[in-house]
Structure 1
Amino acid sequence: MPVITLTGIGFAPGISLSSTILIFADQLVGTTSAPQTVALNNGSGTSLAITSIVTSGDFAQTNTCGSSVASGGGCTISVTFKPTARGTRTGAIIITDSGSGSPRTITLTGTGAAPVVTLVPLSLSFTGNQTVGTTSMPLPVTLTNSGNATLTITSIVASLNFSTSNCGNSLAAGASCTISVIFTPTMPGLLTGMVTITDNAADSPQIVNLTGNAIEIGPAVMLSPLSLTFDGQPLGSISAPKTVTLTNTGNAALTITRIDPSGDFTRTDNCGGSVPKGASCTINVSFAPKAIGTRAGAIIITDNAGGSPHVINLIGTGTPSGPALSLSSTSLDFGSQPVGTTSVAKVVTLTNNGTSTLAITSIGNGGDYAPPTNTCGGSVAAGASCTISVTFTPTATGTRNGAIIIADTAPGAPHAIALTGIGTDFSITPPPGSTNTATISAGQTATFTMTIAPSGGFNDTITTGCSGAPPGGACSVSPSAFTLNTTTKITITVTTTARSNAVPVSGPQGVPPHVAPRLDLPWLLWLLAVTSLGSLAMFGRKRASLAFGMTMLLALLCLGCAGGAGAPAPVGPTAGTPPGNYAPIVTASTSNGFSHSSPLSLTVK
């Protein structure tokens, strides 16, 4: 009968750990290992409160336990190892909780790994005398990686007069290699040097010190000093000479073929065509700068000694003689600027570093840049400064280049300040397939869609608005504000008000509207006057008074009837949006006033 073998990890009732010991493999010092995990299981039947989980040594932990573990639940503790030194490293995790057996301990151990460089010997001395220009037999240096990690070798470099072979790019733990060092002197005398080894060991770089003695067969050249430095020298002038001594330290006469200066330097010498053994001569060097700033050159000596040609390195600084112009900046970048708007001015300081007045003929410009303003006038005194200001008004999108050209009397004229900026813009148009026209009846709403598209890298906050709504209507835009850095759709809504015809007010149901005769006050006064005069003429004063009273009563009754007995006058038409063609305008603008508008066409029937 087949047998199936099963294995697993059982957790006894209570609180348990899947492991109480973690062992980490070798880990490079200063680096962090992959995590190992321990499971904590709560089989106690009650919730387990976690007070603390603490690590020690070169170890760290994270966990999913939180402040408690429910009955029947569990959590994991992840542990990493970051050794601070080579060799065995130990530590522990201490878990303090509310269960029996607390605190619980997980023992931790790991090995810190690091390469260690051992050099034998630490110095080399080439015995005997080595002829200048010839190569010695190699001397070995053994490099051993006595650590417990691979040694990575970056470079093995020898100094002047010495050279080496190398050990490759890496050396396994416990392995060795041989560095071969040879001595090839370029001059006579006791010479010293070193081999420098750069690697990933803690004490990198390591040094092997070198010495060797060189002799010359035939002539030998020794120069003192090997280089000259000249302080600031005005243009058009020549410095006092500086001296180099050439000594023939060999055992035969030195034949000199040429002594040539280069750069802004001149020389005189008393060496002639040859220098006897043990003798010396002098070379005098002067500096005559042809331009302002650092000037380099050399004296090149061609002879029959080893190492020919021999070189004396020269350096000097040319300073102004007369006016000299310097600028605080030779280029200005205005960044992004909306087309047709003007930037904030940028300023460059011009200084006359020379010894006499600088005359300025003109300061001009080109491109999308305003003619510069300046405080320089026609001249700038020696040691004085002035400012040049310029603004940028792009005429198109994209990069816009220009320059300020300064015509003056200083060396290097004309001088230029490079100008650059980027023109940006945006447009408002109907999207493809849409129109900016609409026809509606009064009381209806028209909706338009437009797109606002940036160009030239435009990126700014846009505020939208609408004006020119028809009478009795309104116009709005959504969204009303946003950052424009990509093509964005906006919706314009135009509302109108419906119109209505006149409506008469009816009387009681079934009874046509009644309009009473209207009696005006002037008519009544005329009636009273006529009645009074007629009564007086016909009936005398007594009867005339009675007639006047009757007339007044009749007038009052008529006014009362006219004011309240009739129906109200008919109501006129509602004043809605009149028919016609309207042109609302949608506008998009930035906070600094840069804006574009686009008209809409609306017909109201």
Structure 2
Amino acid sequence: MALINGATFPIAAVTPPALSFGNQNIGATSATQTVTLKNTGTGILNITSIGFAGATGDYTQTNNCGSQLTPAGGAKDNCTITVTFAPTAAGSRPDIIQIADDSANSPQAVALSGSGVAVQGTIQLSPSTVAFGNQPIGTTSTAKTITLTNTSSGFALTISSITTGNAAFKQTNNCPVSPATLAANANCAIQVTFAPSAAANVNANLTVTGIASNSPQSIALTGTGTSAGASGAPDFTLTSSQQSITEPSTGGTATFQVSAAPLNGFNQALNLTCTAPSGASCSASPASLTMDGTSIPSATVTVTVAGASGGGINPHTSELRQVRRPIFASILPFCVFGMVAIGRKRRTMFVLLLVLFATVLFSVNCGGASSGGMPPGTYQVMVTGAATGANAASHSTTITLTVN
């Protein structure tokens, strides 16, 4: 016991005299280590300060020492100083804890050592996207698992945070919380659920940050909130702004709109095709509609009826065609009788006259013909929307085309 001429005085002792933190990733915080400060004297130890001799900022400390320690054997004759190491640069990063007090051996010192190492860890998330599909408002989906792997070799991975960025997606995980680390080549599981609050498409990213060369890393999360009572697979309806169009047989162009409305969050690309009768053509612009599950996109359909062209049959000569046949049939026997009854010289002349008569008769029937364009009548134009993929579907709408 420290007692000189009846006087008492404190004696400060620290254990251990040094702390070693080994290698630590730059920017990552180590596990804690502790130093014990004890008053082994007979007098009260008055503590002035506890700090670091260096100015690197690589070490931090907290303590429960207060301003005094009681004499040895008292209620509080010792306290604990907790130290962590978070290197700010590569290489050896030494420092010293200094404790100033009224002990004769003040200041007490504890040597600190540790090395900062360049980050070599890599965060890997699998799968690269997670799709929840349709989920009724107010309900929670089955959890989907995302695997987080530390693909580094020889370096532990410190995980700083795991977030989804949208309240509709919740996550839980069994990953180590800093300052704990994920060992090299080890993995942990992240469970994500989807609970939409509105009837809409919801997109977000699961993001993992940590001490890694590729931090942060994200994967896409998607889901569609559906109204209460909505059921069935995603689908769409296809409707036309007009039920019929009319064009002249001599040619013309008509336009109308087709619209695609999503059902149950249908959100795939829709390819449009148009089928027209012979003598007409049609096309849709744009030829593809982008469906996002909520909006109703539309396209313009153009129908063109072909104009008139030469070389057809004149409808006004149809009656002449019917008259020609009996006339020719009735004259033919007389022609044959005449050829037999007359002489050879006159027979030659008769043949020439017969050929001339037939030519005139046929030209009356065929001459001056021209086409009036697409024949008058009622036709159908069909527009079809088709999607492939997870929610493959195809629907058509039909428009009546009247040609006058």
Is TM-score (shorter-chain normalized) higher than 0.5? no
TM-score by length of 1: 0.29
Specify which structure has the higher proportion of helix.
2
